[in-house]
Each structure stands twice: as C-alpha cells, then as structure tokens.
Amino acid sequence: PRFQYNTENTRENHIRRAATRMDSIGIRGAKFVDQFGRQRIFHGVNLVFKGARRADGSMDYDAPYTPRDIDFLAGQGFNVVRYGLIWDAVEPRPGVYDDEYLDRAAAMLDACAAAGLHVFLDMHQDLYSARFGDGAPGWATLTDQPFESTALWSDAYLTSPAVQQAYDAFWANRLAEDGVGLQDHYAAMWAHVARRLGGHPAVIGYDFLNEPNPGSGSVETFGALMAAAAALRSQAEGRAYAPEEMAALFADPQQKLSLLSMLEDKDFYRALGELARPAVAAFERGALADFYNRMTRAV
C-alpha cells in the first residue's frame, strides 16, 4: 500500500509535521535560497511514469512508485524530485480533469515531504502526443497526417509531418473541438494542477512543458545545426564538409553516434550553439516566450 493513515496520523497531520521539516525555498537573483538566506544546491532525480497501455487500448497512468522508493532516494543523498505529470492523464476530455490522478500525485508529494525531498512538477511530453509517444490527449492533437515511428524515436521530430503539424497547431493556439484554443486549455489545466498541488509543502516549482519543440520549425533548426557542424568539422579536419553530407551521416545509426560524441568537446559544443543561435532564437523569443508568460499568469 502506498499510504495508510490511522486516526492519529491523518493526511493533514502528516503533511503538517512534514512541513515543519521542509526548508522554505525561494529565489534570490538566479539562486535558490532557503529561509536563512543560504544558497541551496539541489541533487535531483527524475520520476516520470509515461503510462502503460492496457489490453483494451486505454492508458493506465497509475505510477508504480511507493513511499519506500522515495525513502530510498532520500537515503542516496537526493534532495529534489522532478515529478512527471501527463496532460492526457490530467485532462482526458476537454475541460474535464481526472482528480483521482492528481490525488495519487499528491500522495507521492506526501512521501517526498516526509522524506525531506523538494519537488518540481513536470508536464511531460515525447513527440507531443499520447498518440505518438506521451503528452497531449488525442482531442488536443490536431493533425490530418498519419504517424510513422522511427528507429530512434526522437527522429520523428524531424521526419513526422504528424508531430510537426500537431505542434504547430499548439503554438498557434488552434481551437479544439469545443471551440477553445489548445494553449487556453493547457493554461486552464495548469491552473487546476496549481490549485490542487501548488500549495503542497514539497512543491517548489513547475516545468510547464518538457523539451518544447518548434514543430515544423525543427527542420530549419536541424538544418542550421548541420550547417554549423559542417563548418566546424571542415575547419578542424582541413577538408570541406557540406551540410547535406553531415545530415546524411547523421541519418546513419553508427555515424550518428560518432557525430554525437563530438558534443563531448565543450569548445565544439559551445561553438555549435553560437552558430545555431539565430535559428533557435526566433522560436525561444517568440512562441515559446509567449507560452511561458501565459502559463506563468495561469498559475
């Protein structure tokens, strides 16, 4: 059993006692600080249950973690958990929230507080939608394109018109079937989560969307990365590499690993980022910044 409360150990008393052991975490500039003004350095672990498909095709989002798991993590020296939530689980139908799912998340927050672990809540996604990976519910996945999986799942960000079109619809705040914009739904969903879980003594923040992707803009960004990688490799090896050649190498599973290993060189990594900055900046300063501001207002 995940939790057993008796008459003396009600959930309210449990949380009240746990709260007295939790440091109050705030922000000073770019630093996390506690109630004594000390900078806090967090050592975190990721807990995201992305769901399991039942025999009837429906999704089971009942995370298998227990308080014993949380106690183990605390014993290993961790002091923060990135706890994953899934939009499809929170809002299975437009405007309808599964509060039993959030109650189970609250029980895990109880366990974290009891063990002295701070938590930030992460709305997780891979390939945007539960139809393609995990994340958005089907009703919030607006595309008329079929989805085809790739050998390396994340390559579908670059190759799948379905994923790109669904993301484009999200950034454009296109209307869902009930006439409400997708981001409007998402903001209302986050507001609901914040009302249910945000006051918990373990919670110190939110990750509004794991690894936001620009949709069809990811193709341009990838092209900019390949052009930058070609220029840097040409300079390092004294022979010319074309961006198309780098892209072809990246498409080969073995060559891909060799290319990715180049990112272990910090100077190369930094230079690659600087050269690709313009392609990324338009998304980050535009649609993504607007999204973060909208979610911040909601919570």
What's the Cα-to-Cα distance from 147 to each of 56, 128, 153, 161, rounded to whole Å? 21, 12, 12, 8
Of the candidates 281, 133, 291, the one whose C-alpha atom is nearest the C-alpha of residue 212 is 291
User: Can you give the pTM of this predicted structure?
Assistant: 0.90
What would the two tokens of residue 55 be? 């025999």
Q: Position 77: which residue type?
A: G
Residue 45 has which token pair? 């672990």
Q: What does each C-alpha distance from 146 to 98, 143, 163, 174, 192 come to in angstroms? A: 28, 8, 9, 19, 32
Predicted local distance difference test score (pLDDT) of residue 5? 46
Amino acid at 6: N
Amino acid 258 reads: S
Dist. CA 4–CA 162, nearest whole Å? 45
Q: Which residue has the tokens 């990838």?
A: 222
Whole-number pLDDT of residue 178: 98
Predicted local confidence at residue 130, as pLDDT: 97
Return the pLDDT at 3: 47
Q: Which two tokens stand for residue 1?
A: 């059993």
User: What does each C-alpha distance from 9 to 15, 17, 18, 293 come to in angstroms?
Assistant: 10, 10, 12, 40
Residue numbers of the chain with a pLDDT score lower than 70: 1-21
Give the pLDDT confidence score for residue 168 in this predicted structure: 98
Q: Are the C-beta atoms of 246 and 233 separated by less than 8 Å?
A: yes
Q: How far apart are CA 135 and CA 125, in angstroms?
A: 4
What per-residue confidence (pLDDT) applies to 21? 66
Query: What would the 3-class secondary structure string for the chain be?
Result: CCCCCCCCCCHHHHHHHHHHHCCCCEEECCEEECCCCCECCCCEEEECCCCEECCCCCEECCCCCCHHHHHHHHHCCCCEEEEEEEHHHHCCECCECCHHHHHHHHHHHHHHHHHCCEEEEEEECECCECCCCECECHHHCCCCCCCCCCCCHHHHHHHCHHHHHHHHHHHCCCECCCCCEHHHHHHHHHHHHHHHHCCCCCEEEEECCCCCCCCCHHHHHHHHHHHHHHHHHHHHHCCCCCHHHHHHHHHCHHHHHHHHHHHHCHHHHHHHHHHHHHHHHHHHHHHHHHHHHHHHHHC
- pLDDT digit string (tens) for 107-158? 999 999 999 999 999 999 999 999 999 999 999 999 999 999 998 899 999 9
